[in-house]
Every structure is written in C-alpha cells, then in structure tokens.
Structure 1
Amino acid sequence: MKSQEKIFSRKSAPERSARMVETIYGCKWSLTVYQLLAHDINRPGEMVRNVEGLSTKVLNECLRKNVQFGILNRVSFNEVPPRVEYEVTPFGDKFIRILDQLEVLQNEISEADE
C-alpha cells in the first residue's frame, strides 16, 4: 500500500498581528483613543479632558504602544509651548477596520446567544 503524500502543513495564527490585537484590546483605552481621533480630538491634553477616568500617564502609555505598532503617528510641532498631535496612519486605518469587523462579529455572537 502506497502512503499518500501530504499536501497541507499545520497552519498557525499570525504571531505579530495576533499579539498586536491582543495588546490593543488589552489596553482598555485604545478603542476610546480611536474614537477621539475620529472626532478630531488629537492632542493628549484634550483627550484627557474629554474622557472621564483617563489619566495622562495611562494615555501616554497607550499612545506609545499604538505608535510602536504603527497604528498612530506622533506629530511634534516646533513651537513654544511644545505641541504634540496624533493621527491614524494608513496602516492604522486598515487595523481599525479589522477591529470594527471583530466588534460586528461579537455582536452577531451575542445576538445568537440570546
């Protein structure tokens, strides 16, 4: 009897993107930051003033993670006093659309459980 040649190999989850999604969902403020940016609130001080319970320290950590992943871009202006703004990168637009689709999927799952 001939052994059949295997055509498929084990498929694993995409490591970097899975870690990115986990990190962003693990940061409870990232989705709020995206919502603020969508409403043209792009300066850290303005973000803290517009969200109850958000501290400057936690916001800066969240923004730093998003910049490291390439989701957000930090724009520094050479002014006195210094001014910093954040914007969503083209990659960030794609990533946020994927997160939106995950939310739609979660809503469908929740509706099916009812």
Structure 2
Amino acid sequence: MSGTNTHVPAVLAHELPNPVPRDELAACPVNDLFRRIGDKWSMLLVIMLGKRRYRYNELHRSIEGISQRMLTRTLRDLENDGLVRREVFPTVPPSVEYSLTPLGESLLEPLSALAEWAVRNSPVTAAPRP
C-alpha cells in the first residue's frame, strides 16, 4: 500500500512489467494460491474444516456429489499445501480426522472477504453478458 494514499489496494501498489513475462506469472504466489484452492472442492473443504474437525466418512457424507477419489485427492493436496492436518488414531479400524492447520486457519479471513465480495456482487457477475 502506498504511504501517501492509503486507499490504494495492495494488488495495485506495485507496477507490473509490460508485457507480464509468462514465467513471472507462473511463479506468482497469488496465481499459485488460486490454482490450488480455486477448484470445485478445496474452498468448500477449507470452510467446513474451519468450523470443526471431521472424520473422512463424515466429510464424504456431508458433500453431495463428491467421489471418494476426489475427496481423498483434494484432502491430500490441501495437506501437502500445509492447509489441512490429517491425524490418524490407533483404533481398529484406524480412524482419521481432518482439521485446519494454523496456516489453513489464517486463510479463513481473506477467504471470507472474497466470499462476501462474491455474494455482494453476484447479481452483477451472474447477469448475462452482452
């Protein structure tokens, strides 16, 4: 943010090269984050796990239309990204619980701001385009 103008959004505070180099765009942490959490299921899982811990089957039953394979893959990706923690309990059979890591919890506030923006602007963004 600019020191003289505090109303400049952070994303506008830095000059972008013209043209933006392809490799720079590919290495951008913002684009990387949106690629990682912008799929069909990731944000939903982060939001659900932000409310409480879930067992795998509980999650599967709670999300209509997600296959076991996709749930496993999405949870594994979120775990690899450091957003979700997988905890195995030594029971017979073993039980597994998923929760957000501190990094995942830190994503909830900006994700909430983005969600509020989407809901507030949905009449405009959902309108047919000319």
Which range, TM-score by smaller chain? 0.7 to 0.9
Structure 1 counterpart SS, 2:54: coil
The structure-2 alpha-carbon separation of the partners of 1:104 and 1:39, relative to structure 1 and needing over 3 Å to count, comes to closer
Could you tell me which residue of structure 2 aligns to residue 52 of structure 1?
64
Matches within 5 A, 1:54-93: 54-93=66-105
* 1:13-45 deviation line (CA, Å, top 9, x unaligned): 77234312222112x112222343244351111
> How many positions carry a matched residue from both structures?
106
Could you tell me which residue of structure 1 aligns to residue 109 of structure 2?
97
The structure-2 alpha-carbon separation of the partners of 1:87 and 1:111, relative to structure 1 and needing over 3 Å to count, comes to same
TM-score (norm 2): 0.66
Query: Which residue identity does 1:60 align to in structure 2?
Result: T
The structure-2 alpha-carbon separation of the partners of 1:112 and 1:48, relative to structure 1 and needing over 3 Å to count, comes to closer
Q: Distance in 2 between matches of 1:103 and 1:37?
A: 16
Q: Distance in 2 between matches of 1:15 and 1:90?
A: 23
- 1:51 CA drift (Å): 1.9
Q: Distance in 2 between matches of 1:15 and 1:45?
A: 35
**C-alpha RMSD of matched pairs (Å):** 2.6
- The answer for unaligned runs of 5 or more in structure 1 is 1-7
Does 1:29 find its partner at 2:41?
yes
- The answer for unaligned runs of 5 or more in structure 2 is 1-13, 18-23
- 1:99 CA drift (Å): 1.3
Larger Cα Rg: Structure 1 or Structure 2? Answer: 1
Q: Distance in 1 between matches of 2:62 and 2:31?
A: 30
TM-score (norm 1): 0.74
Q: Distance in 2 between matches of 1:100 and 1:54?
A: 23
Query: Which residue identity does 1:82 align to in structure 2?
Result: P
Q: Distance in 2 between matches of 1:102 and 1:10?
A: 23
Could you tell me which residue of structure 1 aligns to residue 29 of structure 2?
16
Q: Distance in 1 between matches of 2:58 and 2:102?
A: 23
Structure 2 counterpart SS, 1:54: coil
